[in-house]
Chain A
Amino acid sequence: MIRVQEPPFDVGAELAALTAGRTDIGAVASFVGLVRDMADAPITAMTLEHYPGMTEAKLAEIEAEANARWPLQASLIVHRYGRMLPGEAIVLVATASAHRAAALESCAFLIDWLKTRAPFWKLEETREASRWVEARCADDEAAARWQQR
């Protein structure tokens, strides 16, 4: 399941909903990405822009890819857009499987993959100005490790 939304989400409630009523799930792995302030460059807010329509389509593709590669019983991506403050959660990725390896690996895959494929753009606000965050080589490298030959 994927959701793209402006309002905050409740991580605990989302994870509980993932497994509610099921007894076949043995492992749930999750990742939460947060707006991080940096001591040497304090940010006052971060705004995420996205491409409505394409965002949902790409996240669904990414989720389908994870479900094709690993034996998952459930998966969830919740990604916010709009203006957020330091400390707020931006994205939640969660995967559920019978055993932990599939859950942990697919969770890492999903966040690595979405960071280079989901059409979002981050605008950081500081007291002086706003600047668009630049894509990082490290993100491309992290995604590349999941490329299949």
Chain B
Amino acid sequence: MRILYFAWLRSKIGTAREDVSPPPEVTTVGALMEWLAASRPGFAEALAAPGVIRAAVNQDYAQPGDPVRPDDEVAFFPPVTGG
């Protein structure tokens, strides 16, 4: 599973992208976030403020309950500020 981090989340975690292999019981965005937070203190810190970190799965915005699969691309980022 390819994980991408953007903006200040990337700075906090220390990497822009990584490939991970979560255990089979990680089947949703929310579960993936918890699993990542358990081993990445920067991610856990970012999750401390609820609702701030957003997600996209295969380049579509996703909610915590949405599914993730082993060959998905999952991105995490703060609220967008374009325009």
Contact = CB atoms under 8 A, between A and B. Distances in A.
Contacts of A116: 80
B80 A118 contact: yes
Contacts of A118: 80, 82-83
A91 B82 CA distance: 9
Nearest to A136: B81
Top 6 closest pairs, chain A to chain B, by CB = A120-B82, A135-B79, A115-B83, A121-B7, A54-B59, A118-B82
Interface string B1-24: 000101110000000000000000
Contacts, number: 65
A121 B83 contact: no
Interface in A56-94: 57, 79, 90-91
Interface in B12-61: 56, 59-60
Contacts of A114: 82-83
Interface residues of B, number: 15
A117 B80 contact: yes
B64 interface: no
Contact of B83 (A53, A54, A91): A91
**Interface of chain A, main secondary structure:** mixed
Contacts of A135: 78-81
Contact of A51 (B56, B78, B81): B56
Interface string A81-109: 00000000011000000000000000000
How many chain A residues sit at the interface, stated as a range, is 20 to 34
Nearest to B4: A51
A121 B75 contact: no
Interface of A: 33, 48-51, 53-54, 57, 79, 90-91, 111, 114-123, 132-135, 139
A8 B76 CA distance: 28
Contacts of A115: 80-83
A121 B56 contact: no
Which of B7, B8, B75 gathers most chain A CB within 10 Å?
B7
Contacts of A53: 59
Interface in B61-83: 75, 77-83
Contact of A79 (B7, B60, B82): B82
